[in-house]
Structure 1
């Protein structure tokens, strides 16, 4: 889909100065996306009139051109094609002068015609890249650089190549087994195909059938990574299950098949009482001595997570495998285990064991089958109101209250780290304490990590963090829960962080139409730039919104719209893990002035190959002078004004000198020499001595051109 052709027509102007030095070319690229400062780089002297002067006989162009030097005409912003299709990235432009040279940059390298499946075509008015049989490796940002004799402009087009997703990453797991129902849970696909997964198909096969390949679809409209099956199951029946993911491009292959499941003859199993374990790291055994390691559930910066089952009890757990080849990496893992031993609370995920081997540390964690809270909320069968949102926030605050009482900060609160205990209830837990830290009295703690949409201003500014830092993130989560929108949403991470630093947000009238003033006051009390003004957990739990939400249940309550939360989740899935955790050495400087990285003063970073491509654009434009319009013989009466005009083209900009009968023409009170694209010699109050042959000579480093004409002054 070519979204560049949708909506009202726009014209983008992108120009800036670019100075070339043959020995060491310098490239000063300024701007965010395609909106760059318009600068005039013309050089040279101005016209002189008056007495005869012998020091001005050559001229460079003096710019009188109006409007942009280079502009893109209704450019594409993004392009989406399916795998195997043809992608055509096209950009039309208008230049104040010709010739024009252009090239495309992808992955910091120049896109050349010899690239497989790629054709590049360029002219003085447009340029395009055509990719046949597009594949996921072709996706990304393509930047076109356009050069004329006055400057350089750039514009970026994002190409998305979508395919059907990979199969779900894990086989379905069964919980809450009864005589005729159960709950399936699974992990999403490791690759979504380049566009958001929109749902799952659940399939069942009864064991003992004559045809093992006979699978029956239970549902094709599951929106989450869990599903309760109430039909098609019989008491004492034995079944296997599998799941497929689908997106706009198609349906994936099936997941691995589940273990055989035998239905119970009794009712729902009651939840076991919560018990806590103080973990001592086992350095004698390996995790496989006690647990079976099954499919991968996910991965992150630290390592990978696998499903585990205890060999004796069958208890299902999650194994967090830390890559720990260095003592420093092991220290990080041990610190998390030490913190987890301080966090025994029903609202917090529990660490059940730990193993230390030569190359890795494994944390055995409580397995939570309910999936992410926000994924649950968007289920069509799940109620989403302001009172239910308040209950979730109450649970989150209760968990964080316990954490803060241990003088520990989480530092990575976001929707992905709030999960549901099961697939039917409303109980939640807080997970992932990999970035958590213990506050020490009198020792300021400053961190350089976070997620742009949820990080607090003091983190960006690299100032000491505290308990109030988590409260900011809770305010952002509540804002999204009630509206489906982010309070600080910029067009880039840099812009988002600038909005966060300024604590600049508003309650959109449409999104908060059905939300109470008490709820908005609760959010406002958390999203305070000054940490001293933010509510802490005890105060937040006592806020009127929290205190009255049970009363709200007794009143008629309106279901909140879920469309915006679904869009929010789709965007979150699209972001890569590597983009979620930032190095704040750069973030800390984003609001410090126009020359900070990421701001309009940022210097672009190109690979050597791309820099060479940019330099080649200048070389492509270089040409020796040539006259596009030559002088013509003319006759003028005595006392009149003669205007001799020609047009010269060349790059680098040629120097122009006028001659009369082989002698240089000098400016005077009645002789004007001008060059503003047209070479012009104006002589006033003509007399017989002005008759003769006039020549215009244009010279640059590549050569010279000459044209002449005869002027006759009639007596």
Structure 2
């Protein structure tokens, strides 16, 4: 700052890239300014205070930083030095920092003096290429300026320490080399052979070099998942490195809808990053967001998963009471219909004594229940009357309470419940009544391929049951329903769920099943208060085998054994039952049974190969269940169903050392005896029950045991939550497996393709980049001595990449020894003339054209004797 008439005046001088003398190249000349720009800007009154201004407060008089001279793009040869400079004005103090491709530059080769910020780069390599940003900041604001550094490789024209720097770079020839010697010609011919590349101008036939290095777009540590709570702002931020500019970006929601700005959503993109910001995020915003970034060299994409979480909905049903005694009872309920976008972590059970209607009369029976059932063991009195309600909670909060349970009166000691012996009913389908004539239908418990399951209660006795409502619109569906009801009449065993009644009308078919309140076995095991050891696992397998042994004695095969179909009788004991015989079939001698249904992880190889199934098919599934029970991992699980099925058909599995560290060799042998590729080699139920692993855990052979890690089991259940339905027909899976093979015609990736809207948006990126040729740097006049080497250099942008032609005095540059054309993908074009002669003097024109237009620039070259 200098004073002029008592007023401050800012002088901003021009500047140029400070390159070492031996490292200067054509790019420096871009920084030269006209003579008028070399003078001081004496009339530029920055921060001037008038009489009116003097009355302002100091804060009001502050001036935000701004770039009087922004950074400029440049290109240097690999191994050379380069620097960026920018002139900055604004109120002091000013702080200046530098970024390279969005990351902070920590270098001692930076300075900020007399309003000029500088960054020097020594011996540049290709890793130094990219976008450099200078950020200036003071208390009034922040501004930045960016430029791109191009690193080139030029081998055609070797440089010497005598190299000079001018509008055109050249090499001074030897004093003796006033004429082109035969040796020089040989070197020129040899040089041409080294760099033979198809030229952009086939008419002139000079040699052309085009460079292409690295990926077109590379993402820098992009996020994989973003999670926010409802009502908060969500920001999806992706930084990237682009090998060229300009770039065009778009965001696609769920590969279907183009993300555009709106009242709650904004999209911002630059040459180094792209963002989507969503204010007041709601659950509907949850999903995958894919950013597609394109430049003239290619494109790249990255997908970010956005989760908008909220506290869960209340449990879908009121608590149901079972196992009532004098001072305890068992509650069961259905989980929330919506978990809030993140896993339900547990439930809070609340109780209120009847007759106390004040809000504070509700007290917590437990705040850490992990399942949808709970055994209330304390706080209840004989003759007492109580109501219960339940709240679900996740990482975002606690739900509203469920509906209250019906009022329950505790039993007296005289009314102590007797142990009921198992009693079985042979069911005859009632075609004269509806299920609703005898039962009240409550909340939905589940949905399957067959139809829906509801909790029901008998209108007279209050008995709680489960009603399986079949989808029976066609004769085929009705036949399948009758088949299951008929099979259930053959399956009367304590380890099997029982059918209690059945109703068929023109409108519906319903099978009434016993209500089993304990929940799925695997979900029960992961409860923190529940024991999980190898012996307990053996006892569970023993019960399953006992139940399946009875089923197999009836010559019935289940065909859908999986963790969801093994449930606990109650919440405190270890008794289990097998449920869901919807896919079961009776085997007939001499009539092979072939099926096309099952669950990929648990189905046997013969099902996938569409070979006859038998009782051994269930034994394979039991081997998979046992493997998961002991390790928490699935033996055949692949990255997709096709991969899983491939593992199953090959019977490929292994006992992971970490997962089976505490498991006995007998257990591994038991599993291996079931997971045999050949059906004939698998153990039967009777043989499995007599296996040494089963015998080793009888009450007479107790031995120290270690609790098994439940972490992997929890992760397994979390994955199963999203994969329980929808993939029952394996015929389709086999076809998908075939179509995904590399040698299959029309094979494609597992992910669905883009929608038409998304495809059009992605294709439009290319159109956004298209532009007619434009010279960013033009040719400069030059005067050189005879025998020197001249390099006429310009920088042209345009997309599609312009075709470049060189003219001398309006005639195409003739192809001759010592003439080389260089054209780089970044738009840098050079005409190199070796061993100059006076005839090389004249006006040189570079003409660039593409389908959108044409541009030209010219310069005079004078060759002196």
TM-score of the superposed pair, with normalisation by structure 2: 0.72
* 8 A contact 2:351–2:386 mirrored in 1: yes
DSSP-derived class of the 2:696 partner: helix
Residue 483 of structure 1 is matched in structure 2 by: 631
| Cα distance change of structure 1 residues 603 and 255 upon mapping to structure 2, 3 Å threshold | closer
TM-aligned CA distance change 1:576 to 1:504, over 3 Å: closer
Decide which of 820, 829, 841 is 1:679's aligned counterpart: 829
Alpha carbons 2:344, 2:393 under 8 Å: kept: yes
1:513–1:576 Cα change, 3 Å: closer
Q: Does 1:568 align with 2:706?
A: no
For residues 557 and 48 of structure 1, what CA distance do their matches in structure 2 show? 75
SS for the counterpart of 1:121 is strand
Query: Equivalent residue for 2:469?
Result: 321
CA distance in 1, matches of 2:595, 2:582: 13
Equivalent residues in 2 for 1:497-576 (5 A)?
497-550=645-698, 554-573=702-721, 575=722
- Quickly say closer, same or farther: Cα 1:532–1:620, change in 2 above 3 A: farther
C-alpha displacement of 1:658: 1.5
Q: 1:633 to 1:403 in 2, by over 3 A?
A: farther
Matched with 1:104 is 251
Contact kept in structure 1, 2:489 and 2:499, CA below 8 Å: yes
Question: What does residue 38 of structure 1 align with?
Answer: none
Look up the match of 2:336. Answer: 189
Partner of residue 698, structure 1: 848
TM-fit CA distance, 1:467: 3.5
Select 1:78's aligned residue among 207, 214, 225.
Answer: 225
**Partner residue in 1 for 2:501:** 353
State the match for 1:114 in structure 2. 261
| Superposition deviation, residue 416 in structure 1 | 1.5
- Aligned twin of 2:362: 215
2-structure distance, mates of 1:597, 1:347? 49
After TM superposition, give the deviation of residue 419 of structure 1 in Å.
0.3
- Report the alpha carbon displacement of residue 152 of structure 1 after superposing the two structures with TM: 2.5
After TM superposition, the structure 1 = structure 2 runs for residues 374-413 of structure 1, keeping only pairs within 5 Å, are 374-413=522-561
Matching residue of 2:168: none
Deviations 1:205-250 (A, max 9, x none): 1113364772121111111111111222111111111111111111
Partner of 1:253: 400
How many angstroms apart in 2 are the aligned matches of 1:116 and 1:262? 55
Q: Secondary structure at the match of 1:590?
A: helix
- Note the C-alpha offset of 1:526: 2.6
User: Using a 3 Å threshold, how does the CA distance of structure 1 residues 466 and 193 change in structure 2: closer, same or farther?
Assistant: farther
- Structure 2 gaps of 5+ residues are 1-192
TM-score (norm 1): 0.86
Range that drifts further, 665-674 or 441-450: 441-450
- Judge conservation of contact 1:50–1:670 (CA < 8 Å) in 2: no
| Aligned residue runs from structure 1 range 13-52, under 5 A | none
Q: Out of 426, 430, 448, which is 2:574 matched to? A: 426
**Partners in 2 of 1:268 and 1:559 — Cα distance?**
36
Question: Within the alignment, does 1:472 sit opposite 2:620 as a pair?
Answer: yes
* 1:101-500 matches, cutoff 5 A: 101-209=248-356, 211=358, 214-266=361-413, 268-440=416-588, 445-460=593-608, 464-500=612-648
Q: Aligned-residue CA RMSD in angstroms?
A: 3.1
The CA deviation string for residues 9-66 of structure 1, in whole angstroms up to 9 with x for no partner, is: xxxxxxxxxxxxxxxxxxxxxxxxxxxxxxxxxxxxx998699999545999975322
Higher RCO (Cα < 8 Å, 6 or more apart): 1
Contact 2:286 2:306 survives alignment (8 Å): yes
CA positional deviation for 1:368: 0.7
Tell me what 1:613 maps to: 761
Deviation of residue 524 (structure 1)? 2.5
Checking the alignment, whether the CA contact within 8 Å between 2:267 and 2:276 is kept in structure 1 is yes
| Cα deviation code 1:310-333 (max 9, x no counterpart) | 233332210011233333433333
| 1:664 lines up with 2:812 in the alignment | yes
Q: Is the 8 A contact 1:52 1:666 kept in 2?
A: no
Residue of structure 1 in register with 2:48 after alignment: none
Give the CA deviation at 1:612. Answer: 0.9
Is the 1:168–1:245 Cα contact (8 Å) retained in structure 2? yes
Matched, 1:688 2:838: yes
After superposition, the Cα gap between the structure-2 partners of 1:598 and 1:521, relative to the gap in structure 1 and judged at 3 Å, is: farther
| Deviates further, 104-113 or 363-372 | 104-113
How far off is 1:461 after superposition? Answer: 5.0
Q: More deviation in 288-297 or 694-703?
A: 288-297
1:710 equivalent in structure 2: 860
Verify the 8 A CA contact 1:297 1:307 in the aligned structure 2. Answer: yes
Counterpart-to-counterpart distance in 1, 2:580 and 2:333 = 19
Q: Is the 8 A contact 1:51 1:668 kept in 2?
A: no
Deviation at residue 158 of structure 1 after TM alignment: 1.3
Deviation at 1:584, TM superposition (A): 4.9
Q: 1:206 to 1:334 in 2, by over 3 A?
A: same
Higher-Rg structure is: 2
* Contact in 1 for aligned 2:195/2:207 (Cα 8 Å): no
Of residues 523-532 and 672-681 in structure 1, the stretch that sits farther from structure 2 once superposed is 523-532
Q: Report SS of the residue matched to 1:157.
A: strand
C-alpha change, 1:207 and 1:152, in structure 2 (3 Å) is same
